Amino acid sequence: MEEKTIGLSNSEWHIMENLWERSPKTATQLVKAMESETGWAKSTTKTILKRMEQKRYIAYEEGEKAREYYPLLKREEVVESETSSFINRIYNGSLGLMVNTLVKKEEIPDDEIEELYRIIKEARRRRR
């Protein structure tokens, strides 16, 4: 079975980050947050919320005074999907090519190199 790719737009990421941080949130709370973070007008936020509902990224419940929005997607699943899509699209599926590109481009701190070693060791351990 083919895995469904979750492709959030930059606008949708802003909303999702807000909801992952704390939810549920009312449309008014999201409008205020987006206005302060991005400068969006109320209508822009409302349009994006409606589009995200249709895509089943978010949902709402009728609260006492207003709709309360919450995410239907877990942050981890979106990050995994976006990462896989990025590696496949940009590096033709080669994690090694991606890491090589990053290593050539920037000096990687020792603690991050150690973290990479730890990740590789764990991946090998799980394969056995």
Identify the weakest region by mean pLDDT among 9-13, 16-20, 54-58, 119-123: 119-123
More confident residue, 91 or 106: 91
Percent of the chain with pLDDT over 70: 96
Q: Report, as an integer, the average pLDDT of 78-98.
A: 91
Whole-model pTM: value is: 0.77
More confident residue, 44 or 3: 44
Residue 1 has pLDDT above 70, yes or no: no
Q: Report, as an integer, the average pLDDT of 14-34.
A: 97
Strands ordered across the beta sheet of 58-62:
25-26, 67-71, 58-62
- Number of C-beta neighbours around residue 53 at 10 A: 15
Six token digits for residue 32: 């205020």
Please, which residues have CB within 8 angstroms of residue 11's CB and are 6 or more apart in sequence?
A: 48
Q: Report, as an integer, the average pLDDT of 81-91.
A: 91
Distance CA 61, CA 120 (A): 43
